Amino acid sequence: MSVSESNHSSRSSSTVTSVTENRTALLKRAARDAMDYLEGVDARPVAPTAQAVTALNSLRGPLPPGPTSAETVLHLLHEFGSPATVGKNSGRFFGFVNGGCLPAALAASWMVSAWDQNAAFFVQSPTAVVLEEIALEWVRELLGLPVGTGGAVVTGATMANFSALSAARHELLARQGWDVEADGLFGAPPITVVVSEEAHASVTKALGLLGLGRNRVIRVPVDGQGRMRADALPHLDANTILCLQAGNVNTGAFDPAAAICPAARAAGAWIHVDGAFGLWAAASPEHHRWTKGFELADSWATDGHKWPNIGYDCGIALVRDPKTLKAAMSIDAAYLVQGERREPSHYNPELSRRARGVELWAGLRSLGRSGMAQIVSRTSEHARRFAAGLAAAGYTILNDVVINQVLVDFGSPEKTLATVARLQAEGTCWCGSTVWQGKTAMRISVSSWATTKEDVDRSLAAMLKAAKG
Ligand X SMILES: Cc1ncc(COP(=O)(O)O)c(C=O)c1O
For 125-130, the CB contacts below 8 A with 24+ separation are: 125/355, 127/355, 127/358, 128/344, 128/355, 128/357, 128/358, 129/342, 129/343, 129/344, 129/357
Asked whether position 276 contacts ligand X by CB under 6 A, the answer is: yes
Cα 237 to chain center, whole Å? 31
List the interface residues with ligand X, window 39-98 (CB under 6 A).
Answer: 96-97
Q: Which stretch binds ligand X (CB under 6 A): 74-82, 121-129, 156-164, 218-226?
A: 156-164
Q: Which stretch binds ligand X (CB under 6 A): 30-38, 69-77, 124-132, 271-279?
A: 271-279
Residue 325's region, left for phi above 0, alpha for psi from -120 to 50, else beta, is alpha
Q: Which stretch binds ligand X (CB under 6 A): 55-63, 269-277, 357-365, 387-395?
A: 269-277
The answer to whether 257 touches 235, Cβ cutoff 8 Å, is no
- CA distances 450 to 11, 229, 363, Å, are 50, 36, 14
The answer to whether 466 touches 423, Cβ cutoff 8 Å, is yes
Q: Which is nearer to ligand X, 246 or 355 (CB)?
A: 246
Q: Which of 89, 196, 202, 299 binds ligand X (CB under 6 A)?
A: 202
Q: Which residues touch 88 (CB under 8 Å, ≥6 apart)?
A: 98, 100, 101, 448
Q: Which is nearer to ligand X, 255 or 343 (CB)?
A: 255
Give the 3-state secondary structure of 38-73: HHHCCCCCCCCCHHHHHHHHHHCCCCCCCCCCHHHH
Asked whether position 249 contacts ligand X by CB under 6 A, the answer is: yes
Q: Which is nearer to ligand X, 273 or 467 (CB)?
A: 273
Which H or E run includes 150?
strand 150-154
Q: Which is nearer to ligand X, 276 or 398 (CB)?
A: 276
Asked whether position 359 contacts ligand X by CB under 6 A, the answer is: no
SS3 152: strand
Beta-carbon count within 10 A of 433 CB = 18
Asked whether position 200 contacts ligand X by CB under 6 A, the answer is: yes
Distance CA 164, CA 297 (A): 11
Output the residue with the shortest Cβ distance to ligand X: 156
The residues facing 228 across adjacent strands are: 222
Q: Which is nearer to ligand X, 203 or 367 (CB)?
A: 203
Distance CA 36, CA 89 (A): 13
Q: Which is nearer to ligand X, 96 or 115 (CB)?
A: 96
Q: Which stretch binds ligand X (CB under 6 A): 26-34, 83-91, 99-107, 152-160?
A: 152-160
Bridge pairing between strands 439-445 and 432-436: antiparallel
Cβ at position 454, least distance to ligand X in Å: 26
Q: Which stretch binds ligand X (CB under 6 A): 169-177, 180-188, 272-280, 416-424?
A: 272-280
Q: Which is nearer to ligand X, 48 or 252 (CB)?
A: 252
Cβ at position 259, least distance to ligand X in Å: 20
Asked whether position 274 contacts ligand X by CB under 6 A, the answer is: yes
List the x/- string, 292-311, binding to ligand X by CB under 6 A: -----------x--------
Q: Which is nearer to ligand X, 303 or 359 (CB)?
A: 303
Amino acid identity of 76?
L
Q: Which stretch binds ligand X (CB under 6 A): 84-92, 106-114, 154-162, 392-400?
A: 154-162
- CA distances 154 to 157, 230, 347, 360, Å, are 8, 31, 10, 11
The answer to whether 236 touches 269, Cβ cutoff 8 Å, is yes
Amino acid identity of 136?
L
Angle at 62 between CA 57 and CA 63, to 5 degrees: 110
Cβ at position 318, least distance to ligand X in Å: 14
Q: Which is nearer to ligand X, 91 or 278 (CB)?
A: 278
List the interface residues with ligand X, window 92-131 (CB under 6 A).
Answer: 96-97
Cβ at position 101, least distance to ligand X in Å: 14
Cβ at position 417, least distance to ligand X in Å: 21
Which H or E run includes 326?
helix 322-329
Q: Which of 45, 91, 100, 247 binds ligand X (CB under 6 A)?
A: 247
List the interface residues with ligand X, window 361-400 (CB under 6 A).
Answer: none
- CA distances 65 to 68, 70, 74, 288, 396, Å, are 9, 15, 19, 58, 58
The answer to whether 78 touches 33, Cβ cutoff 8 Å, is yes
Cβ at position 465, least distance to ligand X in Å: 28
Q: Which stretch binds ligand X (CB under 6 A): 42-50, 71-79, 153-161, 265-273?
A: 153-161
Q: Which is nearer to ligand X, 155 or 240 (CB)?
A: 155
Q: Which is nearer to ligand X, 272 or 428 (CB)?
A: 272
Cβ at position 249, least distance to ligand X in Å: 4
Bridge pairing between strands 150-154 and 192-196: unpaired
Residues that bind ligand X (CB under 6 A): 96-97, 156-158, 200, 202, 247, 249, 274, 276-277, 303, 315
